[in-house]
Chains A and B, each alone.
Chain A
Amino acid sequence: MAAGELGNGTFEYGCGGVTDPACRAGASAASFPGCLALGGYFDVTYTLVDLDELDDLGQAFIYIQPASPSYFGGPDVFLARRVGRAAFIAYADDIVVDYLHIEIVAPDGITLVDPGAGELIDRVEVEVGSTATIEAYASSMGCASLAGAVPTTLTSADPTIAMVSDLTALQIAGQREGTTTLTVQMGDLSRELQIVVVPATGTTTAETDGTGTDSDSGSESGSTDATGTSTGSSGDETTTITIGDTDTDTDTDTDTSSSSSSSSGTGE
């Protein structure tokens, strides 16, 4: 939470979805974020310090509105629309009881995390018939406490090896033994994740390299992993799932470029 600038109450941040970095692993935001990701969804509520003041004002409830609709969309959930510094206004009827300013920044990277180990990843190993869960968040070099769920699209280069299996979490299902690439896209940013599907032995792990954050926009290619496994797609279809946007349909598209043998991997 954050104190309103008029000192009459506190603003609380509400998570916008599974890709909201302020609420990792489903936790609620402990504190009000330092800035919001452009294109990110979120919620904001307000609590008066002295609830009797509502009676004094003759009002029954308080509502939040952005100072300008060009910076924040609404009203059900907020959407950060424009880079800059903008305010939320807490109203009781037409009376302003408080306000709070916050920065909106354009994300410059995508962070991929193994939620079990809490470590950054760029490669995931999953058994045939099992699923591995990852977390993906927008990040910004200029803001350590970025927030807002940016709509995310996951695309498996070869769904016959691994496919995205869940809309509410970022889950990857191993289909058959092999290696493929998962592309995570958030707005103009994209990041590739190497998926290695191994025979079922009863364990599923997410490997880490300790880096994890990449500010490239989808141009990672050229390296081959230590085992020499090519990550080129052998199929001619991809699966795409979008999380956090209004269109959450699962699409199957023909990928005419899947014959190229770009191998993901470190990407650093």
Chain B
Amino acid sequence: MRRTIPLLTIILVGLVASACKPHYDGLEIRYLDGIGVFDTAGLEVVEGQARALEVEPISDNPHEDYENFDLVELVSLSPTVLTVAPSTDVDRFVLIGVAAGTTAVEVRINDDKVDILDARVVAQPTEGQ
């Protein structure tokens, strides 16, 4: 009995602690230019152009959502195709289409890698098209 009480306490504290932490369940993305919405096909920008977007991580923990101090980072796995740069607000990023092609963007929250998003840089029509 003497041993059982501390063990239960540890388990309870652990459960409470995990309940206080958000659990990643996706990223809500809103393009600021109003053209198109994020879908399962992934991030998209036209070659040579830029697009600003705002992101908000979604938590499936009903007791704890992500807060502003939870640092979200988007990291392009191929910056020669797509650059993802932070902007003037913590939840705002700019997609920059460097060259036509496909790549992926890593989502990190508080330095933890939590997701990989497909990304595509679409070529512009060439002359005469």
Q: Which residues of A contact B (CB under 8 A)?
A: 5-6, 8, 53, 57, 66-71, 82-87, 89, 91, 94-97, 99, 101, 106
Contacts of A83 in B (CB 8 A): 126-127
When chains A and B are docked, how far (Å) is the Cα of A84 from the Cα of B127? 8
Contacts of B47 in A (CB 8 A): 68, 70, 84
When chains A and B are docked, how far (Å) is the Cα of A97 from the Cα of B96? 13
CB pair A84–B48 under 8 Å, yes or no, is yes
Residue of A nearest to B128 (CB): A83
Q: Is the C-beta of B86 less than 8 angstroms from some C-beta in chain A?
A: yes
CB pair A67–B48 under 8 Å, yes or no, is yes
CB pair B48–A86 under 8 Å, yes or no, is yes
CB pair B49–A70 under 8 Å, yes or no, is no
When chains A and B are docked, how far (Å) is the Cα of A95 from the Cα of B92? 10
1/0 per residue B67-80: CB within 8 Å of A?
Answer: 00000000000000
Contacts of B126 in A (CB 8 A): 83
Contacts of B86 in A (CB 8 A): 94-96
CB pair A96–B94 under 8 Å, yes or no, is yes
Q: Is the C-beta of B88 less than 8 angstroms from some C-beta in chain A?
A: yes
CB pair B87–A68 under 8 Å, yes or no, is no
Closest Cβ–Cβ distance, residue B89 to chain A (whole Å): 10
Known: A68-B97, A89-B50. A97 touches B127 (CB 8 A): no
CB pair A91–B85 under 8 Å, yes or no, is yes
CB pair A85–B50 under 8 Å, yes or no, is no
Closest Cβ–Cβ distance, residue B22 to chain A (whole Å): 26
Residue of B33, B48, B127 touching A71 (CB-CB under 8 A): B48
CB pair B85–A67 under 8 Å, yes or no, is no
CB pair B97–A97 under 8 Å, yes or no, is no
CB pair B97–A67 under 8 Å, yes or no, is yes
B-side interface mostly: loop
Residue of B32, B49, B98, B127 touching A85 (CB-CB under 8 A): B49
CB pair B49–A8 under 8 Å, yes or no, is no
Residues of chain B at interface, number, CB under 8 A: 21
Q: Is the C-beta of B102 less than 8 angstroms from some C-beta in chain A?
A: no
Contacts of B94 in A (CB 8 A): 89, 96, 99
CB pair A96–B87 under 8 Å, yes or no, is yes
Q: Is the C-beta of B114 less than 8 angstroms from some C-beta in chain A?
A: no
Contacts of A71 in B (CB 8 A): 48
B8-33 with Cβ < 8 A to chain A: 32-33
**Seed contacts A5-B33, A68-B47; 6 additional CB < 8 Å A-B pairs:** A6-B87, A66-B48, A68-B48, A87-B96, A96-B94, A97-B87
Contacts of A89 in B (CB 8 A): 50, 85, 94, 96
Residue of B32, B49, B127 touching A87 (CB-CB under 8 A): B49
Residue of B nearest to A101 (CB): B49
CB pair B88–A95 under 8 Å, yes or no, is yes
When chains A and B are docked, how far (Å) is the Cα of A42 from the Cα of B9? 70
Closest Cβ–Cβ distance, residue B100 to chain A (whole Å): 9
CB pair B98–A67 under 8 Å, yes or no, is yes
CB pair B99–A8 under 8 Å, yes or no, is no
Contacts of A67 in B (CB 8 A): 48-50, 96-98
Most chain A Cβ neighbours within 10 Å, of B33, B47, B48, B98: B48
CB pair B50–A99 under 8 Å, yes or no, is yes
When chains A and B are docked, how far (Å) is the Cα of A99 from the Cα of B52? 9
